[in-house]
Amino acid sequence: MNNSVQVLVVGGGLVGASLALALAHQGQRVALVASAATLATCAPIEPTWDQRIYAVSPGNAAFLGGLGVWSRVDAARVQAVAAMAIWGDAQSHLGFAAEAAGLRELAWIVESRALQAALAAEIAATPELTVLADARPVTLDLTLSPAVLRLDSGEQWSADLVVGADGGQSWVREAAAIPLKSNDYQQLGVVANFAISAQHGAVARQWFRPDGVLALLPLPGQRVSMVWSTPIAHANALLALSPEDLANAVQAASLGTVGVLESLSPAVGFPLSLQQAQSLVAPGLALVGDAAHRVHPLAGQGVNLGFRDVRELVAVLAARPPLQSCGDYPLLQRYARARLEDIASIAWGGDALQKLFATQAPLLASVRNQGLRMVEHMPSMKRWLMQRVIA
């Protein structure tokens, strides 16, 4: 059977699900290829806290609010970030406060599964959006217009635009033969949650250490979520520790800033890499989210970049003349051009910072700490950095 839509989104993670919803709300005929597990609407259960958490920018929270998704997340499980504190490895310090910039918050900390469940609930309440659950794509023909995607269920779908939102190992990107520039950091992001004896004060804290970048992000109540981006051998050593020993190690590495730590969840490690698709678009095709780019988590911007891809693509499609196809190449190039600078600055900025702090060379150690001190005393630079983080 041959079915037809305007846009076919492959991948129902946070980025793909939000894109499919936004386009359906816009009145486009959309289908979403996603696993049933991803689209389960189950709510998170206390007292467990998901180790995968995101610092969602105010701009993206507003976008999710407009989709009816943000209000579906239990507010008691969301934490505003009022300030960020960053330490170098030689007592250098850099701080950002929302209030100083006339903002209410710099970011919102939210659990991955809570956000995914909220998206799933909104999708379930949007009958105009066709969900192709548990079908895997097997072939994609972009030489035809509209493009044709065949699923392992035997179904065949034609679409003016196929969007790859299927993550870092994107099948769509490969099927479209879009080359990928990739650099494996040889690091894992070790994530775990802790109860703390002190108040976190809604501050997101980050330490650039000789063994990597340690971040403690505030969760509601006296809890924090850790992301320790560190070389694989050290990451494996952390993952092998007992919960008590891990809590002690993190407490020591964070200089006791948030008091005594107690493990709330087992630690999990995620491999880290820098990836960039050589093109975000082809005729009849676009990439969004990790399918298009993967960045170091030190800036907490991965999924934020993905949501900003979605906002741009949705805006470009909405602004097209009525008879122009969603898959029109010059139209899609407009999306790719608009996303270039944001993606490049987050990807390469994070990469440069990571490299600068990973080196043990004394000259560079001095440069990086001087650099942090300099930025601390440059209000215009701080404002510029903050604008990027909150978008």
Ligand X SMILES: Cc1cc2nc3c(=O)[nH]c(=O)nc-3n(C[C@H](O)[C@H](O)[C@H](O)COP(=O)(O)OP(=O)(O)OC[C@H]3O[C@@H](n4cnc5c(N)ncnc54)[C@H](O)[C@@H]3O)c2cc1C
Amino acid found at 8: L
Q: Closest separation between CB of residue 170 and ligand X, Å?
A: 7
The site string for ligand X over 40-59 (x = CB under 6 A, - otherwise) reads --------------xx----
- The 3-class secondary structure across 335-374, one letter per residue, is HHHHHHHHHHHHHHHHHHHHHHHHCCCHHHHHHHHHHHHH
CB of 210 to ligand X, least distance (A): 20
Among 6, 38, 275, 354, binds ligand X (CB under 6 A): 38
Span of 27-35, 79-87, 94-102, 319-327 interacting with ligand X by CB under 6 A? 27-35
Nearer CB in complex with ligand X: 165/224: 165
Q: Which is nearer to ligand X, 34 or 117 (CB)?
A: 34
Q: Indicate the residue among 296 and 368 with the shorter CB distance to ligand X.
A: 296
Considering the complex, state which of residue 212 and residue 300 has its C-beta at the smaller distance from ligand X: 300
Rounded Cα gap, residues 250 and 215, in angstroms:
10
Pick the closest to residue 315 from 293, 292, 338 (CA basis).
Answer: 338
The sign of the dihedral angle between the CA atoms of 271, 62, 114, 173 is: negative
Query: Hey, what amino acid is at 45?
Result: I
Q: Judged by CB under 6 A, which stretch of 29-37, 120-128, 252-260, 314-322 contacts ligand X?
A: 29-37
Yes or no: say if 334 and 321 are a contact pair by the CB < 8 Å rule: no
Span interacting with ligand X, options 12-20, 42-50, 139-147, 236-244, rule CB under 6 A: 12-20
Return the beta strands (E) in the chain as ranges.
Answer: 2-10, 30-34, 53-56, 79-81, 83-87, 93-97, 107-111, 130-133, 137-141, 147-151, 156-164, 180-196, 203-209, 212-219, 223-231, 261-263, 268-277, 281-282, 285-287, 293-294
Placement of tokens 């505003």 in the chain: 80
Q: 């310090």: which residue's tokens?
A: 93
Which residue in the set 33, 78, 83, 282 belongs to the binding site for ligand X (CB under 6 A)?
33
Q: Could you tell me the smallest distance in angstroms from the CB atom of residue 363 to ligand X?
A: 30
User: How do beta strands 30-34 and 130-133 pair?
Assistant: parallel
For ligand X, the binding residue among 123, 227, 246, 389 (CB under 6 A) is 227
- Distance in Å, CB of 275 to ligand X, minimum: 10
- Taking the complex as a whole, the smallest distance from the CB of residue 78 to ligand X amounts, in Å, to 13
Q: Which member of 5, 6, 8, 12 binds ligand X (CB under 6 A)?
A: 12
Rounded distance between C-alpha atoms, residue 279 and residue 118, angstroms: 31
Question: Rule CB under 6 A: which of 245-274 touch ligand X?
Answer: 270, 272
Q: Answer for the pair 84, 103: CB distance below 8 angstroms, yes or no.
A: no
35 binds ligand X (CB under 6 A): yes
CB of 122 to ligand X, least distance (A): 15
Q: Which of 8, 15, 119, 280 binds ligand X (CB under 6 A)?
A: 15
Element containing residue 267 per DSSP (H, E): none
Q: Binding marks (x or -) toward ligand X, 113..142, rule CB under 6 A?
A: -----------------------xx-----
Instruction: Determine the distance from the C-alpha atom of residue 125 to the mean position of all C-alpha atoms in its chain, rounded to a whole number.
Output: 24
The nearer residue to ligand X, 20 or 326, going by C-beta atoms, is 20
Site for ligand X in 149-188 (CB under 6 A): 165-167, 171
- Indicate whether 218 belongs to the interface with ligand X (CB under 6 A): no
Determine if 189 is a binding residue for ligand X (CB under 6 A): yes
SS3 261: strand
Contact map string, positions 294 to 313, toward ligand X, x by CB under 6 A: ---x--xxxxx-x-------
Cα(207)–Cα(52) distance, rounded to whole angstroms?
19
Bridge partners (DSSP) listed for residue 277: 180
Burial, 41: exposed, middle or buried (Cβ in 10 Å; 0-12, 13-18, 19+)?
middle
Q: Toward ligand X, which CB reaches closer, 213 or 332?
A: 213
**Which one of residues 129, 191, 203, 353 is an interface residue with ligand X (CB under 6 A)?**
191
| Contact set with ligand X (CB under 6 A) | 10-16, 33-35, 38, 54-55, 136-137, 165-167, 171, 189, 191, 227, 270, 272, 289-290, 297, 300-304, 306
